[in-house]
Structure 1
Amino acid sequence: MFPLRFDVRGTPVEVRVETLLNAGYAGRSQDDVAAHVAELAELGVPAPTRTPCLYPVAPYLAMQTDEVPAQHGRTSGEAEWALVVAGPREEDVLLTAACDHTDRALEVHGVAWSKQAGPDVLGRRAWRLVDVADRVDAITLTARAGGRVIQRGTLGELLTPAYWLDELRDRGLLRTGTVLLSGTIPMDAEVDQFADSWRVELGDPATGDVIDCEYAVRRLPEPVA
């Protein structure tokens, strides 16, 4: 597996991913969770038996890429933040932008399966979590599908990084090489999620700094079968 490389305030940090986890239904507001469940229900995805959920996926799916290949036209991203455990110290935990690209056709058969069918795209820059922890709820989270804003909110709408660090610690997974994606916020149903490009931005209102990840979606040729 290729390591991920992050620019952290001008310092390069390299991480080889050993454990990759996707949180789901992780809104702090139960209204937002219900809205996301409803979005997925429109695509035929059954409601979970508990929330939040945590889906382990193959570590090689954590990528920093400009292009995501797709086998058909019903795949789409989700605006998320990602925790990256880059070392043993508290200051080694990084926060970056992420987009969980999911196969919506497969999702109706199993959310965990659908997570294995597309990559988790991460930004190439990151903040140290300790540097933004005191204002993390105010950090903005925005997604554009095909150039149109489809998701917009703040990290205050999702379970906190501190919550997930405690979960990782309790499960023995708070170790170098673990990457966790946060789950997402509701989408604007008026915007086509099955777009040819996705961009996710984390914005820090206190500094004006923005971390992003962006990629094009490329349809693969039809199978010969």
Structure 2
Amino acid sequence: MPAETLTFRTLSGSAIESRPIVLKAVAVALWTSRDMSGRDRRVAEMEALGIPRPRTTPQFYRVSAHRLTTSDCIEVVGPESSGEVEIVLVRDGRGLWVGVGSDHTDRRVERCDVHVSKQMCDKPLAPDLWAFDDVADHWDQLVLRSWIAENGETRLYQEGTAAAILPAVTLIAGYAGRDDLPEGTALFCGTFAAIGGIRSSGRFAFELYDPQRERRIAHAYDVVALPVAP
């Protein structure tokens, strides 16, 4: 099975370690809002782009492990793609880890085929992970934020807490059909609506903030749009 090896800085308790993790399976979860109002806002946002309402929620889509990257730059085809901040669960032989990434998606393709659109773009990850056990008891307090570059300014694009997203255990069970992810799996946990609507940007920054431990994981990347052939 194809796999991607990425080096992360893992933090468990007070122990910090730099170590490679082999990832063999990657899935992105969609329509994961915990309450109906949040789900309706997300559905309306996607329908405004011409993306049809889902028949069931949540949904899980597999993408290639080779799409994962910790780079600070990605290349996309054309100008119609955008990022979205998501908690990412990573399972290796030592346990379950929590990180943050961007489910960067080709919105033009998404109007035709959601699954294909998820495969079109690299999925940037911050190179840091926390032990799941270190945040499990205050999971809903975790804060997600993202920013875009727009009109020469950095603008807040998304902001919310993990309480707006289905619990990690629910998403794991929904995807894996059991109470833990298989070893070598990364699961993007879904997101919430953008402030001002979904739009493209040449730079996308994001973070996961833990207010109880007063620490954050942050990353940013540039988006290079390749020309579309006539």
TM range (shorter): over 0.9
Farther-moved stretch of structure 1 (5-14 vs 78-87): 5-14
2:32 matches 1:29: no
Match of residue 4 from structure 1: 6
SS of aligned partner of 1:44:
coil
Deviations 1:153-179 (A, max 9, x none): 001100111212333442698221100
Instruction: Flag the structure with higher strand content.
Output: 2
2:215 aligned residue (183, 192, 209):
209
Say if 2:27 is the partner of 1:13.
no
With normalisation by structure 2, the TM-score equals: 0.90
The residue type equivalent to 1:40 in the other structure is M
Amino acid of the structure 1 residue aligned with 2:171: W
Asked whether the equivalents of residues 8 and 128 of structure 1 are also in contact (C-alpha less than 8 Å), the reply is yes
The alignment partner of 1:3 has SS state of: strand
Asked if 1:196 corresponds to 2:198, the answer is no
Identify which of 98, 103, 107 aligns with 1:100: 103
Please tell me the residue identity of whatever aligns with 1:15: I
Q: 1:18 to 1:55 in 2, by over 3 A?
A: same
1:1-225 pair list within 5 angstroms = 1-9=3-11, 10-87=16-93, 89=94, 92-146=95-149, 147-170=154-177, 174-189=181-196, 193-223=199-229
Give distance in 2, aligned partners of 1:13 and 1:133: 22
Q: Is the 8 A contact 2:25 2:64 kept in 1?
A: yes
Q: Deviations over 1:103-152 (max 9, x none)?
A: 00000001111001012211101100011100110010001011211100
RMSD over aligned Cα atoms: 1.7
CA contact (8 A) 2:68 2:123 kept: yes
- State how far apart, in whole Å, the 2-side matches of 1:138 and 1:41 are: 29
For residue 113 of structure 1, give the secondary structure of its aligned residue in structure 2: helix
Unaligned runs of 5+ in 2: none
